[in-house]
């Protein structure tokens, strides 16, 4: 109305503004105790994506994208950046360690270029789980370089440590009005022993330890406790018996009636696995691989499932009373794949809308994700 510079509109606007001011004087100011907070100020959205495993072709692609000088992983993540950066808190799983002096390898031992950390930050990730089967591919030095690179990029981390103090500390992340604790553990390290005298270097899955750490995180001020688990059987769509049993026991852990763990995020299987609500807590058994080269399954055959994944998106709302549980009010997944020919992570719903022939991959991911009845608990497919 003001843009039209119409006199009548200006008068009406002034009258409405005065009426609003009078009404505001009669109400309690929004910033004072007792005034209800806006809904958006009492909730936050968390997004988590799957394993980042730069195989040799991925490293070579990043070097090409950098014009041959260094490595640039940012272009390969641009396709998922809107989902990641749109969250209040975004978590990744960095499965590999950082190498040094150009000694980068893409398997069977993985040593990734340090520029991967800058790309994660540019994409919008706030923190990453680092406990994995490849955490010790380059010993304690690999852990140190990885965490140094993440620190330098401003990306927080959980699951591996350079010092005992770091290994026993809680990673607390701001997420809108909440504080979120991120814990990370791996089932094994591919048989590689922990560095001598450094039992804290890699967090291994131990039921009692995880529950104790979750309680400690809550005591440290965490409103929401998120646990990343590198677990499961490779190339198996369904969770195995160990995953199912551990999910039941961890989600059953409570203190004063309140669950100690609010969300479980799984990686390692190399393929998408189901989501399920267990004891009232969401469990993502396997997110799949977000960034990876062409992979072969147990029959040594190329398997497109290894390039498929989902992004988990959960909205948490604050409790009505202090000390209550932050509840998930919205649960969604976004189907993704890594295009190994283009070297790009792809949001399959967006690609489908643009005419790409990806419906088969999108539908297969949906079938797996919903295969344990998550739809009845409100899980939907997001954009």
* Superfamily of chain region 43-381: Metallo-dependent phosphatases (3.60.21.10)
Cβ count near 121 (within 10 Å): 16
- Say whether pLDDT at 148 is over 70: yes
- Round to whole Å and give the CA distance between 194 and 197: 8
Average pLDDT over residues 57-64: 98
Say what the pLDDT of residue 27 is. Answer: 35
- pLDDT on residue 312: 98
Instruction: Count Cβ atoms below 10 Å from residue 334 Cβ, excluding itself.
Output: 23
Q: Is the pLDDT of residue 33 over 90?
A: no
Model pLDDT for residues 300-315, shown as the tens digit of each residue: 898 999 999 999 999 9
Tell me what the mean pLDDT of segment 165-190 comes to. Answer: 98
**CA angle, 352 as apex, 350 and 355 as ends, to 5°?**
115
Give pLDDT tens digits for 114-129.
999 999 999 999 999 9
Query: Which tokens hold the place of 62?
Result: 């990043």
The mean pLDDT of the chain is 91
pLDDT over 80 at 28, yes or no: no
The pLDDT-based confidence of 364 (bands split at 50, 70, 90) is very high
**Triad 128, 76, 51: Cα angle to 5°:** 35
Pairing type for strands 178-186 and 171-175 reads antiparallel
Tokens 């498929």 found at: 308
* pLDDT above 90: residue 211: yes
Token representation of residue 189: 């390290």
The yes-or-no verdict on residue 102 having pLDDT over 60 is: yes
Q: Which residues contact 356 (CB under 8 A, 6 or more apart)?
A: 346
Instruction: Provide φ and ψ at 270, rounded to 5°.
Output: 75, -5
pLDDT band at 278 (very low <50, low <70, confident <90, very high): very high
pLDDT above 80 (res 229): yes
Average pLDDT over residues 133-148: 98
pTM of the model: 0.90
Burial environment of residue 107 by CB neighbours within 10 A (0 to 12, 13 to 18, 19 or more): middle
* CB distance 344 to 307 below 8 Å: no
Q: How confident is the model at residue 295 (pLDDT cuts 50, 70, 90)?
A: confident
Domain ranges of the chain: 43-381
pLDDT tens sequence across 42-53 = 999 999 999 999
> Is residue 293 scored above 70 in pLDDT?
yes
Tell me what the mean pLDDT of segment 342-350 comes to: 97
């Amino acid at each position: 109305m003001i843009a039209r510079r119409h006199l009548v509109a200006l008068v009406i606007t002034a009258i409405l503004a005065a009426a609003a001011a009078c009404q505001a004087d009669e109400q309690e100011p929004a910033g004072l105790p007792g005034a209800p907070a806006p809904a958006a100020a009492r909730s936050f959205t968390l997004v988590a994506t799957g394993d980042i495993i730069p195989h040799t072709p991925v490293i070579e692609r990043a070097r090409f994208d950098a014009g041959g000088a260094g490595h640039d992983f940012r272009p390969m993540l641009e396709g998922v950046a809107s989902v990641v950066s749109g969250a209040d808190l975004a978590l990744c799983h960095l499965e590999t360690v950082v190498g040094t002096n150009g000694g980068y390898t893409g398997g069977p031992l993985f040593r990734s270029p340090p520029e991967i950390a800058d790309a994660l930050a540019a994409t919008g990730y706030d923190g990453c789980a680092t406990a994995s089967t490849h955490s010790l591919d380059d010993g304690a030095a690999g852990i140190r370089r990885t965490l140094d690179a993440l620190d330098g990029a401003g990306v927080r981390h959980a699951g591996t440590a350079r010092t005992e103090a770091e290994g026993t500390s809680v990673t607390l992340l701001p997420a809108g009005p909440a504080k979120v604790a991120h814990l990370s553990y791996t089932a094994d390290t591919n048989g590689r022993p922990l560095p001598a005298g450094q039992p804290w270097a890699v967090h291994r899955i131990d039921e009692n330890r995880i529950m104790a750490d979750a309680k400690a995180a809550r005591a440290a001020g965490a409103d929401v406790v998120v646990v990343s688990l590198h677990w499961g059987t490779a190339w198996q769509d369904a969770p195995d018996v160990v995953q199912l049993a551990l999910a039941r026991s961890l989600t059953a852990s409570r203190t004063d009636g309140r669950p100690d763990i609010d969300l479980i995020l799984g990686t390692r299987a190399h393929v998408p696995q189901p989501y399920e609500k267990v004891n009232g807590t969401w469990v993502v058994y396997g997110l799949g691989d977000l960034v990876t080269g062409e992979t072969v399954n147990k029959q040594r055959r190329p398997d497109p499932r290894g390039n498929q994944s989902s992004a988990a998106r959960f909205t948490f709302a604050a409790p009505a009373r202090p000390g209550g549980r932050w509840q998930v009010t919205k649960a969604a997944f976004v189907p993704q794949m890594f295009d190994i020919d283009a070297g790009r992570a792809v949001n399959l719903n967006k690609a489908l809308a643009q005419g790409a022939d990806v419906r088969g991959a999108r539908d297969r991911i949906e079938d797996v994700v919903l295969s344990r009845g998550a739809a009845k608990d409100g899980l939907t497919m997001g954009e």
